[in-house]
Structures are given as C-alpha cells and as structure tokens.
Structure 1
Amino acid sequence: MRDAMFETGLVHFRRYVAVHGTSYIRQHEVFDGFPLGQWVTNRRTDYRVGRLSAERIALFENEFPDWQWRKQDAAFAVAFETGLAHLRRYVAAHGTSNARRRDTIDGFPIGTWVASRRADYRKGRLTAERIRRLETEFPDWQWTVRGRS
C-alpha cells in the first residue's frame, strides 16, 4: 500500500515537474486532483525523521536537479555559491584555500566561511556534492587544520 501510494505520488510529481520545470511546490497544491504538495511535504518529513530509504533519497536528488530537502536549502545553496566565489578570489590573491579564521576577502569573512564548512563536514551536514566541489575545485583544501588561528 505505502509503495503504491509512493509510486502514484511520484508519477504525479514527475508530471508536475515536466509541466512547471521545477520541483518546488507549495504544501497545499493539488495537481491533477492529487494532493501533490502534501505528498512532497510528507516525503521531506520522511527524510528528516529517517523513514526514507537511501534508494528514494537518491531518486529525488538525482532525478530532480533543483530538489531541496528543506525550504531553506535554496537560500543555503546561494550562500554556498557566494562563499565559493569569494574563496576563488581568496585563492587568486593568497595562493591557498586554507584561510585563517579572521581572514576576509572583499569584506567577506572567508575564514569564518571556511571554518563553518569544515564544521559542517565534521557534523555530517555537508552534502557529498559540496564535499566533492571543495575537494575538486581547491586541490589544497584541508578538512582539518591544527595549530592555526
């Protein structure tokens, strides 16, 4: 029953994304007579409480490029991109991505941003994609830096 309901919702969700070009949907939206907004909200809840299988998590993340598990994730994505842009400028100016905590670039607290990404990594709050980008775009990136301030 649960699997059939999931598949029904997924069919509607795929059609919604095909029609609207986005996986962002309001909670109370009904699409083709199906309470799709609530279905999406329930999947996000399932994810948050650990009820969503790894297979289904991967399905959402791989099939819907703009998918966000939390509404605030979109704002976090913009902030991450902003930090990366500043880190690129920092590397161009200083030759390293390992900014000290108090370092700034163009008024942006790049050292704090770098320290926060390391903390996110240690706490398991950094997505695999963001980890990959940091490690790929910044070959000298270090997750742990001891003895620096």
Structure 2
Amino acid sequence: MSGYLYLDSSGSFLVQLYTDFSGCMDIVLGASECYGIILPENFRTPFFAKTVQEFWQRWHITLGGWLRDYIMYPVLRSNAMRKLNRKLKSKYGKKNCIRDINLHCNVYCMANVWTVAWRSMEVYSGRRNDVLFMHSIR
C-alpha cells in the first residue's frame, strides 16, 4: 500500500468519526431540548481550528471539561500532590515538569478508562493529551 492510501484512509476515518459522533450528539442535543433540558455543545467546528491545540480544545469539549474538573483539579489540590510539589520545587526549582508529566499521565489513564470499549480511541486520547500537554509546558 502506498503512503497516500494510508493518509487518505486516516483522513477518511477522522471525518467518519467526527460525523458519526457529532451527528449523534446533535440528535441528543435536539431530543434534550424537546424536554426543556439544555446541554452544552460537544464540538465547535474543530476542522476550522488554526492550531493543533485549538483543534483538540474544540473536538470533545464535554469529555475534556469533565476530566479537567473531576480528575485533574482534584488531583492537583490533593494533599499528596501538594507534598510532592513542595519536594520537587525544593529539589528542581520552579520548573516543575515532573509533576506536570505525572498529572497528565494520570489524566490520560482515566481517559482510557472511559474509552476501554473502543480500542481505537486509546490512540486518540493519548495523542490529544500529549498535544495539550506539550502546549501547556511552553
């Protein structure tokens, strides 16, 4: 198989994944509005993003927000993380990449718990978190 076929297949799968998931979410949003329940938007035109980070911030908004609010922030505020942060700060100074790497790895593992039924989504979750992490340590 040529490289163009792989590239075309990858792009086609991405479009299929987006249309399937976004269409399903549009049906859920419409049905919920019929009952007077307003749900947040899950996709905000990710293919019109100008950067990779912006793409992932627009892609799966509700999952990213849930992981941030219920996994990442509680872990950051925990006593164990505060103690670890103090130790690392005294040893390595203000640049505390070890803590950030550890935190993002934990959030990545929790994202994979959510996607365990769909093995192809593990790669998606990992790449998404890697890209967001790389932009956060700049």
Q: Which has the higher contact order (CA 8 A, sep 6+)?
A: 2
Higher alpha-carbon Rg: 1
Determine if the TM-score, normalized by the shorter chain, exceeds 0.5.
Answer: no
Normalised to the residue count of structure 1, the TM-score between the two structures is 0.31
Choose between structure 1 and 2: higher helix proportion. Answer: 2
Normalised to the residue count of structure 2, the TM-score between the two structures is 0.32
